[in-house]
């Protein structure tokens, strides 16, 4: 079965608050879930809506599945890092608390009874492959030509002096004046 996954990591919303929103959309169609999140008053609803739109875009781009054929299979909210902070308390004391964060993993799948169309490769794809192969052949021949030119220059003695000649040139007296 085809599944499309999108993840949202290190969100500075506690997992408990995030789960209140993600539980609303489990099992819904993508378009209905986006509408549900649009009218939700929870602060994490826009983040989940953006993640849902991203997953639908991934499905369209990577697997060529439109959003009207998809449902939300699962939404998993895990606890991420926690920022440890201190709160002043009575008599000069301090009480620790954590500012929690979340990781969200959204899985979309096809609606029951929907099948994917088997598409034939397009002519453009075949043309692109031919162009890529032509470029590969051309670059290989260019590299071979450059290597043979370099060998030819090296056989003539090359344009750069040898290391021993450089050292000797350093110690020669120079004319100043």
Q: pLDDT tens digit string along 32-83?
A: 999 999 999 999 999 999 999 999 999 999 999 999 999 999 999 999 999 9
Return per-residue pLDDT of the chain as tens, 177 residues: 789 999 999 999 999 999 999 999 999 999 999 999 999 999 999 999 999 999 999 999 999 999 999 999 999 999 999 999 999 999 999 999 999 999 999 999 999 988 887 765 566 677 777 777 777 666 666 666 666 665 555 555 555 666 665 566 666 666 665
**What are the angstrom distances between the C-alpha of 128 and each of 123, 131, 132?**
9, 5, 6
- The pTM assigned to this predicted structure is 0.65
Residue environment code for 102-141, b if the CB has 16+ CB neighbours within 10 A, otherwise e: bbbbbbbbbeeeeeeeeeeeeeeeeeeeeeeeeeeeeeee
Whether residues 82 and 11 fall in one domain: yes
SS3 43: coil
- Whether 73 maps to a domain, the answer reads yes
Which position has the token pair 């290391």?
Answer: 163
- Work out the number of other CB atoms within 10 angstroms of the CB of residue 92: 6
Examine the domain organization and report whether 106 and 148 are in the same domain: no
- What's the pLDDT at 116? 80
Give the residue from 66, 84, 110 where a domain finishes: 110
| End residue of a domain, out of 110, 135, 151 | 110
Q: How many domains does the chain have?
A: 2
Per the structure, the complete domain to which residue 61 belongs is given by 3-110
Query: Which element (helix H / strand E) includes 150?
Result: helix 123-155
Contact in structure between 79 and 44 (CB atoms under 8 Å): no
């Amino acid at each position: 079965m085809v599944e499309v996954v999108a993840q949202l990591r290190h969100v500075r919303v506690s997992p408990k608050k995030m789960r209140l929103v993600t539980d609303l959309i489990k099992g819904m169609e993508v378009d209905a879930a986006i509408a549900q999140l649009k009218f939700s008053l929870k602060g994490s609803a826009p983040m989940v809506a953006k993640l849902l739109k991203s997953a639908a875009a991934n499905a369209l781009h990577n697997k060529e599945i439109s959003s009207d054929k998809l449902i939300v299979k699962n939404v998993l909210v895990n606890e991420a890092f926690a920022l440890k902070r201190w709160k002043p308390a009575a008599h000069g004391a301090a009480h620790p608390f954590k500012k929690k964060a979340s990781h969200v993993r959204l899985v979309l799948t096809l609606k029951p009874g929907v099948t994917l169309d088997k598409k034939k490769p397009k002519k453009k794809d075949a043309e692109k492959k031919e162009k890529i192969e032509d470029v590969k052949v051309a670059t290989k021949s260019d590299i071979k030509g450059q290597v043979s030119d370099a060998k030819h220059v090296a056989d003539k003695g090359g344009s750069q002096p040898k290391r021993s000649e450089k050292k000797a040139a350093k110690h020669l007296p120079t004319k100043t004046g």
